[in-house]
Amino acid sequence: MPDIHLPCPSPECQRSPRTMTANLARGLFEYRVLHDPRYALRSICGTCKKITKFTREQIIILVPPDERPRPLAADLFWAYILFESDAWKGRDHRAFLGDRVLVQRLTREPGGDWYGILKSISPYAPLLKIGNYVKGRPRGRLELCLFVVEDGAARDIPKPAEIPRSSSFGMFVSPNDNDEKILGANIYCSNPSCNHIFSTMTFTKFKAAIEKEQDDEELYDEVTFLATVKLTCPRCKTVRVIDEHSFDGLYQET
């Protein structure tokens, strides 16, 4: 499907103002409304110069239905399958690689251990299938998927012989002495029902990207005046606009 652009509402014009796609407009709106709750997107038509304001609803309706972010049902959540990685280990921290799978929660114990049904698959656990019963527990703010239940017995999730090089994985870091302080290092897709992790976007990579583009006036957002990077999810097409604050609560290499 071709990209849909914001239309100019002027009857004589019918051209798209600027080259902004509906997906980009939605991403910009999502980003700017965090800073200004009453934000309405202003767009200038490249042909008739008419300025149009778009509300969230007017933008969303232009995004093709299968490309709109969707909330997760209340009993669904993302659980992580992680491998410890010696390559990225540091003197004072442990590093893990992995991605996340969708789980439908069946039970949760007071201590946080949960039991559920797997709803998506992962190259990090190639033997797991949709419909498998899985168990896990929280570590810090992450839910870890740790066991598969077969014939009533829970066993460790079998690992692939080699850690796969997928296009969507994250790095996770915890201090040597405190597992509970584990943090992700990558930006996620902002669509709640998409599992994509921008593997190439860590705080260090973000800093390098804005350093490289610093002469480009498009780098600075017209509402927040912060340097931003626009990411398009390769899975669901959702655009996420990030600035340095998007890394608050994530691991930031020093």
Q: What residues line the site for Zn ion (CB under 5 A)? A: 8, 10, 13, 45, 47-48, 189, 191, 194, 196, 233, 235-236, 238
| In the complex, minimum distance from the CB of residue 124 to Zn ion, in angstroms, rounded to a whole number | 18
191 vs 202 by CB, closer to Zn ion: 191
121 vs 149 by CB, closer to Zn ion: 121
| In the complex, minimum distance from the CB of residue 40 to Zn ion, in angstroms, rounded to a whole number | 18
157 vs 189 by CB, closer to Zn ion: 189
49 vs 155 by CB, closer to Zn ion: 49
79 vs 95 by CB, closer to Zn ion: 79
48 vs 208 by CB, closer to Zn ion: 48
| In the complex, minimum distance from the CB of residue 13 to Zn ion, in angstroms, rounded to a whole number | 3
What count of other Cβ atoms lies within 10 Å of the Cβ of residue 199? 19
| In the complex, minimum distance from the CB of residue 136 to Zn ion, in angstroms, rounded to a whole number | 23
| In the complex, minimum distance from the CB of residue 96 to Zn ion, in angstroms, rounded to a whole number | 22
| In the complex, minimum distance from the CB of residue 23 to Zn ion, in angstroms, rounded to a whole number | 11
What count of other Cβ atoms lies within 10 Å of the Cβ of residue 67? 18
